[in-house]
Amino acid sequence: MTLWRNRELRQHIRVIDGSVAPSIVLTNTTYLNVYTNQWVEANIWIYEDRIVYVGEKLPEETTETEYYDCQGKFVVPGYIEPHSHPFQAANPEVTAMHAAKTGTTTFVNDNLTWYLLLNKKKTFSIINAFSNLPVSMFWWNRFDGQTTLKDNRIFNTKDVLDWAEHPLVIQGGELTDWPSLLTGGDRLLYWIQEMKKLGKPIEGHLPGASSRTLTKMKLLGITSDHESMSADDVLKRLELGYRVSLRYSPIRPDLPDIIEGLLEKELTQFDNISFTMDGPTPAFMKDGMINVCIEKAIEKGLPAETAYRMASYHPARHFNMEEEFGSIAPGRVAHLNILLDKQNPHPESVIGKGEWIKKNGKGISFPPVIDWKKYDITPLELNWELAEEDLQFSSPIGMDMVNDVIIKPYSIVSDVSAEEISSEKLEQFITLIDKNGEWRVNTIIRGFAPKLGALVSSYSATGDIILIGNSKKDLSVATKHMKELGGGIVLVDQGEILAEMPLPLGGVMPDNRMEELIEMNEKIKKVLTEHGYAYQDPIYSLLFLSAFHLPFFRITQQGLLDVKMREIVIPATMR
């Protein structure tokens, strides 16, 4: 990875020679050297966006140099989120800048949403624009849409290989369609091999996988996995040569128990383990991102030095970019967190790419970098109206929500021909409508939020429109208001709008500040809970309604899907 031109490299040498002044000098630091695993006293020189010197000396030329005294404080590398889903009821810029204020300064991001919004040319332009943020934004190369799509040509060899070659793309996956790989998907295998030729790792998605399956996936080129739910899962993957991310997410907050289990099993080698929040929604990341993971690990007895390495150096090494990220040493991007205490991973000050993102406890404001309109990411315009026939339900098979991620099929015995369904039945109407108005899929869902008249959302796994509710009248009211917002999540009961989250960026992302998003996120969950929602995170529930990497039954663009058999049991209806 080359981030600086030759003339810039020569300028960095001039700083050391004393003819050019550094931008910032952190004096009297006690910093964590990840190579020796020791706390070392030194002065750290930063020139523009790069660390150019770490040692006892001070610069000769200091014109306009800012000195910052770190006496009594501790400096660690900026934290890395190796498995980021930055579109979860937020947008990538807001997500990254919020997390940066708590020390996470490098993100390896899911690219799936770009497939829903933009063509490849505009996508590459916008991901280049994200490089102008004071954080480092890298991207995945998805091989599947994690659902059954009407048009499977969306993921094709030319586009996948173009993504693979992009310098900001540093990982293949996550591979949610791994069953296809096991059953002979040679196109998928070809894509994986091409990524690996470029030295870019492949992220799996292997919850509950047996040792036999994990072995097969390793032979086919999978490098790492983030789906461990126990210490035994972690050890099984490590023993087979996987790199592992420990997850602390809204629906899988397994990290504390896993750390406790690994320490009980006397694991001492954590070099191939890192942390992830795996796509936190705004309310879940109120206090930050990887800093929270570090805190949970330290609380369970993991040595602080190990936790900081897991948050920085380990993922940098995994992505083959340790010469630029993950440590405090000459030549690294100047991502630094200044702590008041070794045991407290929540930084008092944060430097990203050589700029103060937070200083002495106060966040620094940055103007927005991304001009969404420039990329034609504008409010959603739906050129269709919800018709009476769109809310006709005759499917004999419904969707039974068992927990946050599991949906089972069940035989519908209730009369669902009326305008409303009694909340006592725990059932609601559910419809997935094409955002272009060409098709719909109708059935009944049991156990979502049975007391709620309507939830309508343009946020979904495919960008299509989800309608759930026990009142057809409320569904019409909510749909109308969602369209007025230009996309969004709208909750209605007895004709009253109870909560909303506008999503004016293509109908899939908000443009609010994170503080506002947290408030809206919390209100949506509160209202849903009051109306019978019994799960951890409604944003994930909406996302997973169509996800074919989770058992057992899903609503997709093609129709109702039996996940295990990969068969459409009730096809979509043309409108």
Are 253 and 225 a contacting pair, CB within 8 Å? no
Q: Is the peptide bond before 385 cis (omega within 30 degrees of 0)?
A: no
Query: CB count, 10 Å around CB of 271?
Result: 13
DSSP-assigned states of every residue in 165-180: H-TTEEEEEEETTHHH
Q: What is the pLDDT of residues 46-79, one digit of tens each?
A: 999 999 999 999 999 999 999 999 999 999 999 9
**Whole-model pTM over 0.95:** yes
Name the strand (E) or helix (H) holding 234: helix 231-239
Confidence at 146, pLDDT banded by 50, 70, 90? confident
Confidence at 32, pLDDT banded by 50, 70, 90? very high
Q: What is the pLDDT of residues 452-494, one digit of tens each?
A: 999 999 999 999 999 999 999 999 999 999 999 999 999 999 9
Which pLDDT score, from 0 to 100, does residue 141 have? 98
What mean pLDDT comes out for the span 91-119?
A: 98
Which pLDDT score, from 0 to 100, does residue 178 have? 94
Write the CA distances from 542 to 63, 230, 448, integer angstroms. 55, 26, 10
Backbone angles phi, psi at 379, to 5 degrees: -55, 145
Of 339, 355, 335, 359, which is closest to residue 347 (Cα–Cα)? 339
Of 90, 85, 84, 86, which is closest to residue 509 (Cα–Cα)? 90
Confidence at 299, pLDDT banded by 50, 70, 90? very high
Q: What is the pLDDT of residues 513-523, one digit of tens each?
A: 999 999 999 99
Confidence at 293, pLDDT banded by 50, 70, 90? very high
What mean pLDDT comes out for the span 3-8?
A: 96
Pull the structure tokens for residue 533. Answer: 């929602």
DSSP-assigned states of every residue in 352-395: ETTEEEEETTEEPP------GGGGT-----------GGGG----
Are 225 and 252 a contacting pair, CB within 8 Å? no
> Residue 303 above 80 pLDDT?
yes
Q: What is the pLDDT of residues 372-416, one digit of tens each?
A: 999 999 999 999 999 999 999 999 999 999 998 899 999 999 999
Q: Name which CATH class applies to 78-325.
A: alpha beta
The residue extents of the domains of the chain are 78-325, 388-574
Go through 401-423 and write b for each residue having 16 or more CB atoms within 10 A of its CB, e for each that does not.
beebbebebbebeeebeeeebeb
Backbone angles phi, psi at 170, to 5 degrees: -125, 10
Cβ-based neighbours of 478, under 8 Å, separated by 6 or more: 453, 454, 455, 456, 467, 469, 490, 491, 492, 497
Are 410 and 390 a contacting pair, CB within 8 Å? no
What mean pLDDT comes out for the span 2-20?
A: 96
Amino acid type, 20: V
Q: What is the pLDDT of residues 329-359, one digit of tens each?
A: 999 999 999 999 999 999 999 999 999 999 9
CA 74 to chain centre: 29
Which pLDDT score, from 0 to 100, does residue 1 have? 75
Are 280 and 255 a contacting pair, CB within 8 Å? no
Q: What percent of the chain is modeled with pLDDT above 90?
A: 96
What mean pLDDT comes out for the span 172-198?
A: 96
Which pLDDT score, from 0 to 100, does residue 77 have? 99
Report the C-alpha gap between 538 and 283 in whole angstroms: 11
Q: What is the DSSP letter of 531?
A: T
Q: What is the pLDDT of residues 414-455, one digit of tens each?
A: 999 999 999 999 999 999 999 999 999 999 999 999 999 999
Q: What is the DSSP letter of 420?
A: B
Q: What is the DSSP letter of 378?
A: -
Average pLDDT, the chain: 97
Are 462 and 557 a contacting pair, CB within 8 Å? yes
